[in-house]
Amino acid sequence: MRIGLIGGSGLYDIEGINVLDEISLTTPYGIPSASYKVGEIEEREIVFLPRHGISHNIPPHKVNYRANIWGFKNLGVERIISVNAVGGINRLLQPGDILIPNQIIDFTFGRRISTFYENDRVLHVDFTDPFCSELSHNILKASENVGIKVVKGGTYICVDGPRLETAKEIEFFSSIGCDVVGMTVMPEAVLARELEICYSSICVVTNPAAGISTKKLTSKEVLIMMKSSLYKIKSLIKGIVKLIPYDRHCQCKDALKDADL
Ligand code: HPA
């Protein structure tokens, strides 16, 4: 059972990890963002993919999410830990904070293909809890073990980008209970669910969302904050991998049961 790791902005490689193999795939949905690196952490096999490509040349609205997730499935990945840069909407959040979300609002308005089942098979997958409860629990437990403070739970609103939001949009997102805003969790999370892969996210707050601070937002601050948080993410990942049981006890593994019409 392999564990997948999706690197977001600022996380393009898994240096420090013993890389055993590098696999380039072509999928029925096209080509994934990069080749998959297979390596070992704590004697567990990890498959790493940088979502935006190795030189960050793929913007969030152009990522081939279906190819990426299908590739993980094809490589025997049963769980995916995703790293996502986010803007902080909740005023209690500061740049550098890490949040493990438990809910999603999809504000990408269907502009991204968000299903593997669009032709003959009519299937409605349950998405009440979009993140894997067992995997998220392991992330929270690992954060205690390695002494890295994380915020437990929160709502991630996913926008299409690539532009950042207006101040009024963020005010609206705040009024409907969103804590962080980002551009990548959807459709990644639902595509993983459709392939019965567990999926949880480690969100790194890289900036206060638009209008929360009076300063102009820059991509540079996102990358700088992401880079300076990498040491925390890496130690968290090591801690998580140690805790992940070989067998799954969550509902993700049976996501397709009773989902067909
Ligand atoms: N908005 C949307 N996506 C983001 C942000 C933001 O402020 N920061 C990092 N990803």
**Contacts of residue 224, Cβ cutoff 8 Å, sequence gap at least 6:** none
The pairing of beta strand 180-182 with beta strand 77-88: antiparallel
Q: What is the pLDDT along the chain (261 residues), one digit of tens a residue?
A: 899 999 987 776 676 678 889 999 999 999 999 999 999 988 899 999 999 998 889 999 999 999 999 999 999 999 999 999 999 999 999 999 999 999 999 999 888 999 999 888 889 999 999 999 999 999 999 999 999 999 999 999 999 999 999 999 999 999 999 999 999 999 999 999 999 999 999 999 999 999 998 888 888 888 899 989 999 999 999 999 999 999 999 999 999 998 888
Residue 222, ligand 1, Cβ within 6 A: yes
- CATH number for region 2-246: 3.40.50.1580
What is the domain partition of the chain in residue ranges? 2-246
Q: What are phi and psi of 159, to 5 degrees?
A: -110, 165
Decide the pairing of beta strands 44-50 and 2-7: parallel
Going from the C-alpha of 46 to that of each of 18, 108, 167, 221, 237, the distances in angstroms are: 10, 30, 39, 29, 10
224, two tokens: 């700088």
C-alpha count within 13 angstroms, C-beta hemisphere, residue 168 = 0
* Ligand 1 pocket residue status of 85, Cβ below 6 Å: yes
Q: Which of 178, 181, 201, 227 gets mutated to test ligand 1 (max ligand atoms within 8 A of its CB)?
A: 181
Site to probe by mutation for ligand 1, drawn from 163, 164, 178 as the one with most ligand atoms within 8 Å of Cβ, is: 164
Distances (CA, A) of 132 to 36, 37, 55, 97, 165: 22, 23, 30, 21, 28
Cα separation, 128 vs 103, whole angstroms:
9
Instruction: Assess whether the C-beta atom of 184 lies below 6 angstroms from ligand 1.
Output: no
